[in-house]
Amino acid sequence: MRRPAFYSRSPREPRSAAPSGATFAQNASDGSDTTPTQPAQPAAAPQRWQPGRRSFALLLALVVGMGATGAVMWPKANRQLTQKDIDQAVLRTLHTATLPSPAAKAAEIIRPSVVRVVGYGTEKTTPEAKAEKRGRNLAKGKPAEAPADEAAGQQVERGVGTGVVIVDKGIILTNLHVVAGSETIKVTFFDGLESPATITGVQPENDLAVLQAQKLPDDLIPATMRSTADLQPGDQVVAVGFPFGIGPSVSAGVVSGLNRSFRSPEGKQELANLIQFDAAANPGNSGGPLINMDGEVLGIVTAILNPTQQRTFIGIGFAVPIENAATAAGSPPF
């Protein structure tokens, strides 16, 4: 606590008072009084200056004036904040700061768990395939006939899709049609690490496959799965994947319907109990996650409705609910 200043009394004495010890000498001739005389004393040491009453009054007026100025300059310094002040500050921030969209935040959460899946197989060696390859070689200025080792067949891409990591030891969910018939499978993680993968489980009735990656990033983050029990039409969703091999790409939309069924264009398979959504999806999105605004996986994108042979999105996509996908990976349903 700051100690208040102490002030001494004024050193001045009243002029009418005679100094202590003064004597009046009488004139021997007429007896009249003379001026008082002071007994001889040693010279007093010079006194230190101390503020008097006028100085104190001036200093007090200066302090009061400074306080009044401070009150004018900072009138709200000691005022307690109210809810109205907080609301105004929040509104000011919302109007001046650019915040990420809910879809952007959801995609950022799931991004470390999304992988690119590529299936490879041996190139066909039919006469038609050989003739096509000769034409490509001639167009590129290469010999028409391939070397003997290439003539025997080489690895080419059979299918490109997406997967999502659900266990940090490298267990990945994807679509069965992405990897079916592939001789080798490679997955590329979010940090660029490429790893061979093997199929460890399938669920053909739901077009699901489970992969095990052989090499893993040091900081692999698995996705969080969310039950679809409370999912409703109109809920916002985001699809993340590699459409036509480009990505990871993000598209946003809503749940269009529940418990839908879908029959493949060839009519070979019919899937049931699907989530219908309108977030853009195209070939290459297959096997990717359909997530909510918290970045939690609701399903695995598996098909798009295509009344034509163009294989482009017309606004109707389907995903297998994560409950089915979890059982494919050996995890109990929610």
Residues labelled as active-site residues? 177, 207, 286
Residue 298 φ then ψ, to 5°: -100, -25
Given a contact cutoff of 8 angstroms between Cβ atoms, the answer to whether 195 and 289 are in contact is: no
Given a contact cutoff of 8 angstroms between Cβ atoms, the answer to whether 284 and 264 are in contact is: no
Where does the chain show beta strands of DSSP type E? 114-122, 155-167, 171-175, 184-188, 194-203, 208-213, 236-241, 249-263, 270-277, 289-291, 297-304, 317-321
Given a contact cutoff of 8 angstroms between Cβ atoms, the answer to whether 206 and 183 are in contact is: no
Residue 47 φ then ψ, to 5°: -80, 150
Q: Length of the chain in residues, anyone?
A: 334
Give me 110's structure tokens. 């799931």
| Separation of alpha carbons 328 and 263, rounded Å | 21
Give me 326's structure tokens. 């979890």
Integer angstrom CA distances of residue 240 from 35, 88, 136, 275, 312: 113, 37, 34, 15, 17
| DSSP structure class, residue 214 | S
Burial class (CB in 10 A: 0-12, 13-18, 19+), 83: exposed
Give the number of other Cβ atoms within 10 Å of residue 55's Cβ: 13
